[in-house]
Amino acid sequence: MRRQGRGTFVAEVEESQILFQFFRLAPDKGGRQFPESSVQSLTRSHADRLARSKLELSALSPVWLIDRTRSIGGRPVISERIVVPADRFPDLDRLTPIPNNVYALYAMRFGLRIGRAAEQLKAVAASAADARVLGCPKGTPLLAIDRVAFAIDGTPIEWRRSRCLTDRLHYYADLS
């Protein structure tokens, strides 16, 4: 943080600043809310072709796969898979529970600050698996978000695929 005439200071970022910088879903009625997260699984695997491409990894690179559900107001609204390089996140499986705000975890525990994220959005129909997790009928319209998050130095750190139930939510972006 820079202050005119006083210098540059290190400041701890408030969790809501980090979360709302990258969390773009908001209720149609009322203000923005913190989502609650529930991790269904955390597994170590080898990166598939698409994960290698998104995260710029070599063949047989190990990755962590985090499957979780995010809820707003107690209602499941997001089913997501997060893929991160295992070599950048050693012993991730020893952290329990995985916190709601993984970007704060990346920064505080692993020294990896997310500087930017690139997203692609698309309308999709809920699969049977989506319907089970989100409690909606198969075929329900969902918003699919494919995101690659980059460290401050531009290194891809995370690939996230989210399926969002938006019947009571919208994607919010303040462009300037």
Q: Are 37 and 97 in contact (CB under 8 A)?
A: no
Per DSSP, the three-state class of 45 is strand
Q: What angle do CA 87, 106, 67 make, to 5 degrees?
A: 80
CA distance 4 to 16: 25
What is the per-residue pLDDT across 45-78, written as a single tens digit (0 to 9) for each? 999 999 999 999 999 899 999 999 999 889 999 9
CA distance 110 to 36: 22
Q: What angle do CA 46, 36, 15 make, to 5 degrees?
A: 90
CB-based contacts of 138, cutoff 8 Å, min separation 6: 125, 126, 127, 128, 130, 131
Token digits of residue 134: 């989100």
Token digits of residue 158: 């995370």
CA distance 44 to 36: 24
Stretch 17-37: mean pLDDT: 67
Domains present along the chain, CATH in parentheses: 13-171 (3.40.1410.10)
Q: Quick one: pLDDT band at residue 10, thresholds 50, 70, 90?
A: low
Stretch 87-111: mean pLDDT: 91
pLDDT at 1 over 60: no
Task: Report DSSP letters for 107-122, one per residue.
Answer: HHHH---EEEEEEEEE
pLDDT at 15 over 50: no
Beta bridge partners of 62: 46
pLDDT of residue 16: 45
Q: Estimate to the nearest angstrom the gap between the alpha carbon of 109 and the chain centroid.
A: 17
Higher pLDDT, 14 or 83: 83
pLDDT of residue 168: 86
Q: Are 26 and 32 in contact (CB under 8 A)?
A: yes
pLDDT of residue 81: 98
Stretch 121-142: mean pLDDT: 97
Q: Quick one: pLDDT band at residue 96, thresholds 50, 70, 90?
A: confident
pLDDT of residue 97: 87
pLDDT of residue 173: 77
pLDDT of residue 78: 93
